[in-house]
Structure 1
Amino acid sequence: MVTAQPTSTEQWQRLASEIFVPLRVSGDASQPRIRVDYESVSDVAYSRVRSTSGEVVRAEELIDSADSGIALFSLQLRGIGRVTQRGRATVARPASGVLYLADAPYRLDFPGDSDILVVKAPVSALGLSAGRLRDAVAAPLRGDGTLGLLARILGSSLAGRGLLPSPAETARVSVELLREVFTGQVGAPVRARARSHAAVRAEARDRIRSRIADAELRVGTLAEAAGVSERTIHAAFAEVGSSPAAEIRRARLDLSRSLLETTRMPVVEIALACGFTDPTSFTRAFRRQWQHSPAAHRALARDSRP
């Protein structure tokens, strides 16, 4: 993952043109506040852009056949973005996304501070014809929870604590979820493909993180969240040599270790916050995993600080 913080509009224009496609960038401030975190895997890239107000333009003279087969999708996290392409315009608000294609001019306007995730992928990877994708250009997209999952997958990867183990798998699943959203948006007559095991694992891990304090968290809960059978959940984790129970236990123990190292919470409170029913079972599980007790781990972490 690469992080960049351009300090001028000129630097931001060069960076944006390198990460996405050739662009013109303008802003209200001579020294804009911008941070870009991005990953690139083969012909797919994903990034998070936090910026002050500004305008991004894909002008006619910047369009080249080498990048005309590229699709870009912005998912708004904070602020609003106005997107114009092919005579259509829309306002993207938090939790909504918008598609634009590199084969035609477009304009992105951000009237205030903005925080967005952007996926860049080949049009051919999205599973729909260019004509059908054009039907979805400059229209607000919402995906019945799919966009929320996409945001968490991308955000966690760019924050260094990914729901998926590698940028390559993150890129692959992100394109898969976008294909699912676009298929529903344009009403394509093709039947949506079942989610891959990688996507199922990502959604299960996301649910585990959000329900970590729930001592009753079970395989059935994960299956219901992902919209699949319990058998599919087991198969998805077996594919990587794990199991739902092992994933839940690992997440609880990883969180407990972090809380021991970074807070002064009593051990009993940490146990409950991590989904253990009592301190004894927590201490036993922690000792099996780390070969010492929670109290000893906290002492070691404290002694190792400079």
Structure 2
Amino acid sequence: MALTDEFVDLQRIAAPQREAQWQDLLSRTHLDMAVQLRQGTEPRSFRAAVRRRWLEDLALVDVRCDACLGVRDEMLVRRADQRRIAVTVARSGTERVGLGVGSLQLRPGDALIWDSAQPAWFEVPKRLLKRTLVVPYPVWRAAGGPRLAGGGVVVDSASSAWRMLRGYLDLLSGSPSPPGTVESARNLALDLLVAATQGGSVPSGDDTELHEQLCWWIDGHLDRPITARILAEAHGVSERTVYRAFARAGETVAAAARTRRLTRAREELETTDASVTETAHRWGFADASHFARAFRREYGCAPRDVQADPLAGGTGGTRLVHPSRMAGNGRTRTAI
């Protein structure tokens, strides 16, 4: 199912109305606040746009804007009809943010989780791109989210939970349809946000064991379609649980199946006289061209480059080594 989008570009708004429209737009997509352009900025030269993408009751908001500033004072906090928790990540440019009595500067890659129950202010000195996930406070607490001391928490950008959350938000923002259902995408984003708040650690235990079981099942069923729903039904768990187990392992169901199919296909090409087309069909690829593209992304060469030489009785040319088997290389490329 496609995600629901709302998009507004102030370039389509008459210059005299842009400042007021920008305040209204930020108030509707984030929080009620008083907003103005930075001193000396002409309304006709001010550029800004917002896209809001709904994940059921969660909102993923992408903002790009020129220099401006805003304040959310005690009166606006008291007037608010709904309390929210949000995580904001700066993608380009900088933003100075104040919460309660403290303040900090967000630079590209920095992230802040904040509570709308606190007065706040922001200042954007020059063009900014940022992404925010907005969560209703009751939803946050029901998911196990903690109360935020001082109204906000600076995210540990090195934590595994934050890296997964940021990557997942990038995926949701860049794709017209989420992996799985909108509900499962919403639940996983919420789970990762709670984990990122709680010290950046990602729970293991049952999820790790389940992930191993799911991968074992995938290995034995590579000759048939593999989806989160099929895995969930085979193991008596929900699709949400399957998505979470793979996300916490740093991969997706599709990538896990594709990588294993490519491994089997490569072994077949290296040790038999099967053609590229036969191998592609045997391991579930739509056609030889699709297989060749996926193979090159994974191994950096064409399938024919590793085919067994029937005359020499071995592989043709130099034997290529999968990155995960290279000494000193802890990274494994995942086919997309």
SS of alignment partner, residue 25 of structure 2: helix
Aligned residues: CA RMSD = 4.0
User: Partners in 1 of 2:293 and 2:105 — Cα distance?
Assistant: 44
AA of the residue aligned to 1:171: R
Partner residue in 2 for 1:3: 7
Residue 296 of structure 2 corresponds to residue 272 of structure 1:
yes
Distance change in 2, residues 1:134/1:156 (3 Å): same
Residue 256 of structure 2 corresponds to residue 241 of structure 1:
no
Deviation at 1:196, TM superposition (A): 9.7
User: Partners in 1 of 2:205 and 2:29 — Cα distance?
Assistant: 28
User: Partners in 2 of 1:196 and 1:18 — Cα distance?
Assistant: 40
SS of alignment partner, residue 248 of structure 1: helix
Deviation at 1:158, TM superposition (A): 2.1
Partner residue in 1 for 2:134: 120
Distance change in 2, residues 1:45/1:277 (3 Å): same
User: Partners in 2 of 1:26 and 1:251 — Cα distance?
Assistant: 55
User: Partners in 1 of 2:137 and 2:215 — Cα distance?
Assistant: 30
Deviation at 1:136, TM superposition (A): 6.1
Partner residue in 2 for 1:110: 124
User: Partners in 2 of 1:87 and 1:159 — Cα distance?
Assistant: 36
Partner residue in 2 for 1:177: 192
| CA-to-aligned-CA distance 1:137-158 (integer Å, 9 cap, x gap) | 1645435133232222222222
AA of the residue aligned to 2:296: L
Question: Contact 2:153–2:197 at 8 Å: present in 1 too?
Answer: no
Equivalent in 26, 50, 59 of residue 16 of structure 1: 26
SS of alignment partner, residue 174 of structure 1: helix
Deviation at 1:184, TM superposition (A): 0.9
User: Partners in 1 of 2:167 and 2:6 — Cα distance?
Assistant: 19
SS of alignment partner, residue 11 of structure 1: helix
SS of alignment partner, residue 104 of structure 1: coil
User: Partners in 1 of 2:109 and 2:193 — Cα distance?
Assistant: 14
- 1:79-90 equivalences under 5 Å are 79-90=93-104
Deviation at 1:172, TM superposition (A): 2.0
User: Partners in 2 of 1:85 and 1:105 — Cα distance?
Assistant: 6
Question: Contact 1:63–1:104 at 8 Å: present in 2 too?
Answer: yes
TM-score, structure 1 normalization = 0.63
User: Partners in 2 of 1:234 and 1:102 — Cα distance?
Assistant: 45
User: Partners in 1 of 2:103 and 2:119 — Cα distance?
Assistant: 12
Question: Contact 2:59–2:135 at 8 Å: present in 1 too?
Answer: yes
AA of the residue aligned to 1:83: V
Question: Contact 1:272–1:278 at 8 Å: present in 2 too?
Answer: yes
State the aligned residue count. 238
Query: Which residues of structure 2 form unaligned runs of 5+?
Result: 12-17, 219-225, 232-252, 263-279, 308-336
Distance change in 2, residues 1:281/1:25 (3 Å): farther
Partner residue in 2 for 1:149: 164
Query: Which residues of structure 1 form unaligned runs of 5+?
Result: 186-190, 198-222, 262-266, 283-306
User: Partners in 1 of 2:206 and 2:92 — Cα distance?
Assistant: 29
SS of alignment partner, residue 147 of structure 1: helix
Partner residue in 1 for 2:149: 134
Deviation at 1:105, TM superposition (A): 1.2
SS of alignment partner, residue 185 of structure 2: helix
User: Partners in 2 of 1:138 and 1:229 — Cα distance?
Assistant: 30
| CA-to-aligned-CA distance 1:158-178 (integer Å, 9 cap, x gap) | 222566234433332222111
- 1:66-85 equivalences under 5 Å are 66-85=80-99
Distance change in 2, residues 1:25/1:234 (3 Å): farther
User: Partners in 1 of 2:125 and 2:160 — Cα distance?
Assistant: 27
Larger Rg: 2
SS of alignment partner, residue 118 of structure 1: strand
Deviation at 1:35, TM superposition (A): 2.2
Query: Sequence identity, in percent?
Result: 16
Distance change in 2, residues 1:36/1:54 (3 Å): same
Partner residue in 2 for 1:92: 106
Residue 213 of structure 2 corresponds to residue 231 of structure 1:
yes
User: Partners in 1 of 2:215 and 2:178 — Cα distance?
Assistant: 15
User: Partners in 1 of 2:170 and 2:61 — Cα distance?
Assistant: 9
User: Partners in 2 of 1:235 and 1:162 — Cα distance?
Assistant: 26
| CA-to-aligned-CA distance 1:43-81 (integer Å, 9 cap, x gap) | 321111111121132122222465452112201111112
Distance change in 2, residues 1:49/1:165 (3 Å): farther
User: Partners in 2 of 1:94 and 1:235 — Cα distance?
Assistant: 40
